[in-house]
Structure 1
Amino acid sequence: MTSAFLSALGGRIAERWLTLLALPGLLFIAAVTTATVLGHEHWSDAGKLRAWLDALAGSPASRSAGTIALVALGVLLAAAAIGTAAQTLGAGVELLWCAEPRGPLLRRLADRRTRRWRAADAAFRTALVTAGRARIAGSDDADRLAGLAESRFARRERIAAAAPRHPFGMGDRLAAPGQRLWRAYRLDLAAAWPHLWLLADEGIRAELHAARGRFAAAARLCVWGAAYLVLGLWWWPAALVGITALAAGLRRGRAAADAFAELTEALADLHVRDLAAALGIDSPSGMDRALGERLSRALRKPA
């Protein structure tokens, strides 16, 4: 049984290593090689690339099994190193997406998002009032004005659901559950989260882990996109790959942040009363501000 477990564990580790590190790194090494051989001038010259490969295969070193093994090992190690670097930079991208507005650049980005949101909010409120007045007056334009108000509401929601506080939208989205729970129930989600996590069942934990994994994967995809954009300075097709990867990474990151935030808030809504019961706090009236304040006081232990 132990040997079977170790074999399965080794297989999973090898699969994860190949998927996250080696394979993306090998693809990038292949793209770098192609860019070096072809460049901008011969960007689609498959014959030149084939001739280079034939010359490499015909060299005396290619007839030595030891040399081939060393080259293959070196390529794999280089691919793993590149993949590890992308993974590390991806963690930095995650921190940047969730960063607080500290420093002049991040504060400027946060202020810019705030100005855009306020302008969109003012436009939505104006359109909503205009549509309401048209509806009351029985105007023929009431439906058109209502549609305009809906489109302006959607434009505001694309920036943020509430007034932005972070330089990037994903930071606001991930912070939104804590803010809403505090406003509604005076529950400190940061203090309650470890306890709520312990009360959650395996299915909910798995869903949260999956959303968190998708968020990290989206950040890594953005890193690969930036790398291919830089490579596009030498071989322009790589820039197309980079733009596509960056766009997909940003879209997936927003979707993963939305999913993680929704699951976090759902977990809190479902298990707050269970947490109160576990802590010996009565909740006869259900989840309200009184219960939230009592939980927050109980979980914020004095230093």
Structure 2
Amino acid sequence: MTAFLNTLGGRLAERWMALLAVPGLIYLATLVCAVTLGQRHWSDTGRLRDRLGALATAPGAHSPGSLAVAALAVLAGAAAVGAAVQAVGTWCEKAWLTEARGPVTRRLTARRLRRWQDADRAYRAALVAAGRATIAGSGDAGPLTESAERHHAVRARIALAAPRHPFWAGDRITDPERRVWRAYRLDLTVAWPHLWLLAPDGTRTELTAARTAFTSATRLHAWAIAYLLLGLCWWPAAVIGLLAAVTAAGRGREAASGFADLTEALTDLHGKDLALALGIPCDGGLTREVGAEMTRVLGKDVA
């Protein structure tokens, strides 16, 4: 038990350092640079060196007690900054996944929907043109097919289906629910806890890793906001914030896609197992009839 508690304490300390202390210390160091240099002296390393020298020669700089208190204060400040940014990251995650409820989110969703519809019309027109050229045996069939593929990629970058959320991540995360419903008439919202219980440990690990990666991306986005705000005092911090925001967006897209693909794969591979566990006959793969019956049973619809 003692060895277990020591190991657990070490892991908690490592996690605390990775999530809160180290990023917070880096941010505090950047804050010191911003306050000391400002916009006018943004690259004056001599000014920063003089400031650090003045702190080193202060009366309490050589007192062990003062140094200990200062170190604890810095660590506490770093942890507080990290915790605050982590809280902002939670709100960023909710914002990325929010539905179109208020006037702002509805306007954003309508804008994405118009863009998707324009891209969809362009893709369908290009696809029809490519099909006609192929049937006619025209030499333009190849270029027209490539054009249709490009239009399809443009539409997919906006959303895989007609957008219902103000942001890309919200649509991507909910895509499996819509696709599973269209294919099997299975309500993935009510079926998910049961599928999770039937999933092998390896599958759960992969899903958890993808979900954690998405949360990490939203946390990085929160750090980007913090550095962008700091850029009001020292513009190099804004550069750091922009780079972090771009990185967070890319990681968020990758994590959301990975999680959505794994969710849909879990349904395809273990949907039959869930049907059999519920006592619903399923000789072959999932069908609409089986999926509808599973939805009725899991939804406690006894009518």
Q: Which residue does the alignment assign to 1:10?
A: 9
Q: 2-side partners of 1:50 and 1:104: how far apart?
A: 50
Q: Which residue does the alignment assign to 2:167?
A: 168
Structure 2 letter corresponding to 1:7: N
Figure out how many residues of one structure are paired with residues of the other and give that number. 302
1:273 deviates by 1.3
Asked if 1:256 corresponds to 2:255, the answer is yes
Structure 1: gaps of 5 or more residues: none
Q: 2-side partners of 1:184 and 1:144: how far apart?
A: 33
Q: Which residue does the alignment assign to 1:42?
A: 41
1:302 deviates by 5.3
Q: Which residue does the alignment assign to 2:231?
A: 232
Q: Which residue does the alignment assign to 1:114?
A: 113
Structure 2 letter corresponding to 1:265: E
TM-score, length-scaled by structure 2: 0.97
Q: Which moved more, 1:192-201 or 1:272-281?
A: 272-281
Structure 1 letter corresponding to 2:70: V
Q: Which residue does the alignment assign to 1:32?
A: 31
Q: Which residue does the alignment assign to 1:143?
A: 142
Q: Which moved more, 1:258-267 or 1:277-286?
A: 277-286
Q: Which moved more, 1:199-208 or 1:124-133?
A: 124-133
Q: 2-side partners of 1:165 and 1:53: how far apart?
A: 53
Q: 1-side partners of 2:153 and 2:162: how far apart?
A: 14
Q: Which residue does the alignment assign to 2:21?
A: 22
1:130 deviates by 1.7
Structure 1 runs of 4+ aligned residues shifted over 6 Å read: none
1:222 deviates by 0.5
Q: 2-side partners of 1:190 and 1:144: how far apart?
A: 42
Q: 2-side partners of 1:234 and 1:112: how far apart?
A: 34
1:131 deviates by 1.9
Q: Which residue does the alignment assign to 2:279?
A: 280
1:135 deviates by 2.6
Asked if 1:76 corresponds to 2:95, the answer is no
Give the percent of matched residue pairs that are identical in Structure 1 and Structure 2.
56
Q: 2-side partners of 1:13 and 1:146: how far apart?
A: 55
TM-score, length-scaled by structure 1: 0.97
1:138 deviates by 3.2
Structure 2: gaps of 5 or more residues: none
Partner of 2:85, secondary structure, is helix
Structure 2 letter corresponding to 1:72: A
Partner of 1:40, secondary structure, is coil
- Counterparts in 2 of 1:7 and 1:284: CA distance versus 1, 3 Å: same
1:243 deviates by 0.3
Kindly report the root-mean-square deviation, in angstroms, between the aligned alpha carbons of the 2 structures: 1.2
Q: Which residue does the alignment assign to 1:220?
A: 219
